[in-house]
Amino acid sequence: MKFRAKSTNIENIHQFTNVINTIHKILKKCTLRLTPEKMFFILPNQITNGGVSMWCELKQENFFDLYQMDGISEEHNEIYLEIVAENICRALKSSQNAKSLKIKLTKKQVPCLTFEVELPSLLSSSRVVTHDIPVHVIPRRLWGDYQEPEMPDFHVCLCMPPLAKLKNITERLKNLSTYLTISANQKGDMTLKVETELVTAKTSFQGLEIPEFDEDSQAPSKLWPEDEFASARIDIRKFSQFLSGQQINPYKVICNVIHDSAIHFFIVHDNLSLQYLIPVVRC
């Protein structure tokens, strides 16, 4: 197994850092899947993370000038690693002014992802900061756990209001209650509601953009009436983590509501796509 990637473009390095920072806010551990064309950050649906799941994929050519890999075998030319996103965040902190970033799969005492950040220096030669991040190689027999989740049939699909606004509102509502009910209809109305013994608060948005549906993307269920609200009551902290981490500046954030089941977020960006699913909390 071999993996080497390098970037000398500071913008791409920053973008990559932003992706890692966003992911780390959402979850602690995740799986990094490397293929010749793409990098995937995966958190499968598990009871231990409250049923939340995430799927992020990016085209390596949008981030790296050099990208070489040899997977676990010729037939299965992929590598699956379990990583702690926070450790990578810390490594990337040194890359603010980097001249180049190199990532390699290495073997120290344990398998590691080694990050080499080349920094400018007043002396003629550059300074290199190296971080060895221990990773766990996931064996082939477990790869089935990390497949792309099937998109569930959702009832309502629309674009979220500006995330900065949602972040302010969610931070306040988080101080009032553990649960948040997100409701939306296909006409572009969305509400965020908390309800406790002492207080009820509901924030409403109208006229939200409805994304266009083409053959590739899944359209909402035609059986669901346009003005009917689909709702899901979720753990507000999961939603808050998702909002607070956002550093990608997406083109759009699409929200799919599966009534009484889950909220599915889809971040659309030129260089990557990120999906995040928060299931409902049952009383």
Partner 1 sequence: MPVLTQSIDEDSVFSASISNAKNVYNILKAVHFKDTATVFATENGLKITVEDSKCIQGNAFIQDQIFQEYMLREESVTFKINLDILQQLLSIFGNSSIGSTALKMQHNGYGTPLVLTLEEDGAVTDCSIKTQEPDEILDFEFAAGNVINKVIVVAECLKQAFNDLDTSSDYLQILMSPVKPYFRLSTSGDLGQSNHDIPKDSDMVEFFECSQTQSNQYRWSLLKPTLKAISLANKVCIRVDHRGFLSLQCMLKNESGQVCFVEYYCCPNEPDDDEEDNGCHGPFSFV
Q: Contacts with partner 1 in 202-241 (CB under 8 A)?
A: 202-207
Q: CB neighbours of 39 closer than 8 A, spacing ≥ 6?
A: 32, 33, 57, 58, 60, 63
Task: Look up tokens 């920053």; give the residue.
Answer: 14
**Rounded CA gap, 64 and 73, in Å?**
23
Q: Which stretch binds partner 1 (CB under 8 A): 1-9, 89-97, 171-179, 240-248?
A: 171-179
**Rounded CA gap, 92 and 21, in Å?**
9
Q: Which stretch binds partner 1 (CB under 8 A): 38-46, 194-202, 222-230, 266-274?
A: 194-202
Contact yes or no for 32/38 (Cβ under 8 A): no
168 binds partner 1 (CB under 8 A): yes
Contact yes or no for 88/24 (Cβ under 8 A): yes
Q: Which stretch binds partner 1 (CB under 8 A): 60-68, 119-127, 139-147, 169-177?
A: 169-177
- The binder of partner 1 chosen from 197, 212, 215, 227 (CB under 8 A): 197
- The binder of partner 1 chosen from 89, 201, 268, 281 (CB under 8 A): 201
Task: Report DSSP state, residue 125.
Answer: S
> In the bound complex, what is the minimum distance in angstroms from residue 169's beta carbon to partner 1?
6
Which residue's CB is nearer to partner 1, number 58 or number 166?
166
96 binds partner 1 (CB under 8 A): no
173 binds partner 1 (CB under 8 A): yes
**CB-side exposure of 158: number of CA atoms within 13 Å?**
24
Cα–chain-centroid distance for residue 248? 10
> In the bound complex, what is the minimum distance in angstroms from residue 199's beta carbon to partner 1?
5
Which residue's CB is nearer to partner 1, number 149 or number 188?
188
Binding mask 26-65 for partner 1 (x = CB under 8 A): ----------------------------------------
Which residue's CB is nearer to partner 1, number 125 or number 175?
175
200 binds partner 1 (CB under 8 A): yes
Residue 273, SS3 per DSSP: strand
- Name residue 157's amino acid: C
**Helical (H) or strand (E) element with 26:** helix 10-26
- The binder of partner 1 chosen from 77, 172, 213, 270 (CB under 8 A): 172
Q: Could you tell me the two tokens for 166?
A: 């949602």
Which residue's CB is nearer to partner 1, number 202 or number 252?
202
Q: Which stretch binds partner 1 (CB under 8 A): 64-72, 134-142, 172-180, 268-276?
A: 172-180
169 binds partner 1 (CB under 8 A): yes
Residue 188, SS3 per DSSP: coil
Q: Could you tell me the two tokens for 226?
A: 């346009």
If you write DSSP's letter for every residue of 71-113 in order, what string do you get? -SSSSS--EEEEEEHHHHHHHHHTTTT-SEEEEEEEESSSEEE
Residues in the site for partner 1, rule: CB under 8 A? 161, 165, 168-169, 172-173, 175-176, 197-207
